[in-house]
Structure 1
Amino acid sequence: MICTRVIEEVKDYQSAIKMTCDILEEKGAVNHTYYQAILDNIEKYGGYFYLGKGICMPHAKTEDGAIKSGMCVLMVKNKVRFFNNQVRVFITIAAKGEMEHFKNLHRIANFCNDEEKMKRLEEIKDEKELLELIGE
C-alpha cells in the first residue's frame, strides 16, 4: 500500500512526519505509537533518515507500532529543514517483518538512484502524478 500527499508547506519536519504517520494509521498500517518511535529514533541517532537529493525516509521497528507494510510519500513544495538538509519528500515506511523492511529499502534506493525519476519529481503537481511516479 502506497499513499501520497502533495502540500505547499509544513511548519517543520516533525509536522511532516506526523502527517505521514497519521495517514498510515488511518490506513491501518501503524498504530499511534509509531510516530513517537520515529521521534525517539531521531533523538537517539540524529538525521540518519536523510537519503540525499531532498529525500528523507522516517521509519521505526516493526515492534514499535507497525501493523502491516505500507508507505506514505509526502511531497512538500516548500522544502523543510531536517538537521542540515532541505527536504522536499518524506517517505515514511512501515514493515511487518524484516524482509518487507528490506524490500521497502531496496525499492526506495532504486527510486532515488533513478536520475530520470529524480528530475520528474521536481515537476510533480498532485498526488496522482506522485503515485504514478513512485509506483513505476
Structure 2
Amino acid sequence: MVFVKLIEKVEDYKEAIRISCCILEENGIVGRSYYKAILNNIKEYGGYFYLGKGICMPHARAEAGALKAGICVLSLKHPVLFYGKEVWVFLTLSAGDEEEHLRNLQKIVQICRDDERVKEIKEAKNDEELSALIGG
C-alpha cells in the first residue's frame, strides 16, 4: 500500500521520518518500534538511504516492526538537511509481503530514474496531486 502526505515544512529529518512512520503505524503497516529502529540504523550506519535528487528511503529490517509491505511518501515544500543533503521527499519503506515489497521497490526505482517526475513530485500542490504522481 502507498500513502502520501504533502507537508509545508518540518523541523528536521527526524520529524519527517516520525510523521511518515506514524502514518504507516496508523494504517497497520508498521509497529510502534519501527521509527526507533530507523533512527538506530541512522545512528549506526549514517545516511546510507539517501538516494540522490533530494530523496531519502528510510527503512529498517522487517523484524524491527514491519507488519506489512507499504510506503509512505512524505513530500516537503521546504527541504530539510540529512547528512548535508537537502531532502524534499521521504519514501519510508516497510517490508512485509515479499511480492508487494518488490513492487514497492520497483516503484521507487521508477520514480528516482525520472527527473521530470521527481520535479513534479517536489512541486505537487496537494495530497491528491502527489498521489497521482506516485501512482498510489
Scaled by the length of structure 1, the TM-score of the pair is 0.94
Question: Number of residue pairs matched?
Answer: 136
* Residue number in structure 2 paired with 1:103: 103
Q: 1:2-40: CA deviations, max 9, x gaps?
A: 111111110000000000000000000000000000001
Aligned to 1:89: 89
Q: CA deviation at 1:120?
A: 1.6
Task: Name the structure 2 match of 1:66.
Answer: 66
The secondary structure found in structure 2 opposite 1:76 is strand
Distance in structure 2 (CA, Å) of the matches to 1:118 and 1:130: 11
Task: Give the letter aligned to residue 103 of structure 1.
Answer: R
Alpha-carbon separation, structure 2, partners of 1:96 and 1:133: 24
Give the residue type in structure 1 aligned to 2:2. I
How far the C-alpha of 1:97 sits from its partner, in A, is 4.8
Alignment check: 8 A CA contact 1:75 1:89 kept: yes
Among all aligned residue pairs of Structure 1 and Structure 2, give the percentage whose two residues are the same amino acid. Answer: 52
- Spell out structure 1 runs of 4+ moving beyond 2 A: 97-106
Instruction: Give the CA deviation at 1:98.
Output: 4.8
Please, which runs of 5 or more residues in structure 1 have no aligned partner?
none
Relative to structure 2, which stretch is displaced further, 114-123 or 71-80?
114-123
What's the RMSD between the two structures over aligned residues?
1.4
